[in-house]
Amino acid sequence: MRKTGPVVLTLSLGVFGIITTEMGVVGVLPRISEELDVPAAEAGWLVGVFALVVAVAGPFTTLLASGVRRKSVLAAALAVFAASNAVYALTDSFPVMLLFRIVPALFHPVFFAVALTAATRLVAPEKATRAATTVFAGVTLGFAFGVPITSYLAEHLSLAAAFWFGAGANLLALLGILALFPSEPAGQRLSYGSQLGILHRPRLWLSLSAVVFVFAAMFSVYGYFAEYLERVTHLGGSATGALLMAFGAVMVLGNLLFGRLLERDPVRTVTAFPVLYALLYVLLRAVGPWAVPTVLAVLLWGAMHSGGLVVSQTWLARDARDAPEFGNSLFISFSNLGITIGSAVGGLVVATAGTHQLPWAGAVFALAALGAVLLRRRLGPQAPGDRTASRVQRRTRVPS
């Protein structure tokens, strides 16, 4: 393959467009509620339905797409996301908008699974982690810039302009895929049985448990970011918004940092991550009432938050090497499950114990993730029936 760098960057741009579509709605829900004349709680279904469809349908849609050429799958997914944004911009019907949240959600895990697998296969084995990190940078940039830009356009231009921005990002990535991604045949298709066979591995389920707990740790507190800063630290809305932007910017640096650490020593990095996250939440709980220390803690938090994506995906990938796209779809589904659980538990803590106790929920989930990682390590590095594991481990020098 001649030049893989532009292709991997194009995949990252596609991820950026998809994350902007998925999460950008969060910042414009009040405008949707107002312009489409629906209650705020009903408008919230635009977020919840998307996550639910991704979590439930992800592995199945990825299995169905496993025999299709990767270029066609990637292009089709981006076309659906671009078209869905166009519908959001043009419609004044809430049911229509809700329907076109369901349709792209079916393609979301397929794109991620194929993009991650393609990125790591397009480069030399020793650069696979860096390629995956580059793809995940699209997630970070989506949170750091895509979501705020969407909110800004809705506030200062129009709701339609915000959605046309999302459509443009996905369309640009689509053109890049059509121009740069290699046109190769689908190749020999793994049977459904072969792909589903990895579900018999106890190691895989421990890794999936770690993914759920890591994302629950991340989003049990992040989901109430503004609530915590306003009620505990007593920051105003403008300061909270600025800090949210800074949080997203630091995520970019954290993504690069954890990518490098994973290249050097993946197992120790994965093991250390939940420990550091738990300590971070202890720090956040301790300094919460004071503005300046909290700002510094939030910047550390942003760096840690971005690491959760690439750390947990790298850990899970060890146990799905012979069905990588299906494994990546499981990552997408179970990470969304973790987000759902974490958000629900965070809300329960806020309602019953108070917002100031929120970091303890994240710390408990982080320690649960550590337990799952340590149990997985006790079972050793190689999954039963994984014919490629030994060869890959020798090449990447992954310790047990």
Q: Which of 74, 28, 17, 26 is nearest to 343 (CA)?
A: 26
Residue with tokens 């190769």: 184
| Distance of alpha carbon 362 from alpha carbon 349, whole angstroms | 11
Considering only residues 384 and 209, tell me which one the structure prediction assigns the higher pLDDT. Answer: 209
Q: CA dihedral defined by 68, 180, 177, 5, rounded to 10 degrees?
A: 100
Number of other CB atoms surrounding residue 385 within 10 Å: 12
The pLDDT score that the predictor gives to residue 385 is 41
Q: Outline where the chain has alpha helix (H).
A: 5-35, 40-43, 45-64, 70-90, 94-121, 128-141, 147-156, 159-180, 192-196, 202-222, 225-231, 237-264, 266-287, 291-317, 324-352, 358-378, 389-396
10 Å CB burial of residue 282 (0-12, 13-18, 19+) is middle
The pLDDT score that the predictor gives to residue 190 is 58
Number of other CB atoms surrounding residue 295 within 10 Å: 17
| Distance of alpha carbon 196 from alpha carbon 63, whole angstroms | 9
In the predicted model, is pLDDT for residue 373 greater than 70? yes
239-246: average pLDDT: 78
| Percent with pLDDT over 90 in the chain | 29
265-289: average pLDDT: 94
163-182: average pLDDT: 92
Query: Using an 8 Å Cβ cutoff, are 266 and 398 in contact?
Result: yes
In the predicted model, is pLDDT for residue 217 greater than 90? yes
Cα 41 to chain centroid, rounded: 24
The pLDDT score that the predictor gives to residue 40 is 66
187 CB-near residues (< 8 Å, 6+ apart): none
Sign of CA dihedral 85, 86, 90, 94: negative
Q: What are phi and psi of 381, to 5 degrees?
A: -80, -20
pTM score, two decimals?
A: 0.75
The pLDDT score that the predictor gives to residue 396 is 37
The pLDDT score that the predictor gives to residue 103 is 92
10 Å CB burial of residue 189 (0-12, 13-18, 19+) is exposed
Considering only residues 372 and 318, tell me which one the structure prediction assigns the higher pLDDT. Answer: 372
Number of other CB atoms surrounding residue 175 within 10 Å: 14
Q: Which of 323, 136, 335, 84 is nearest to 218 (CA)?
A: 335
In the predicted model, is pLDDT for residue 275 greater than 50? yes
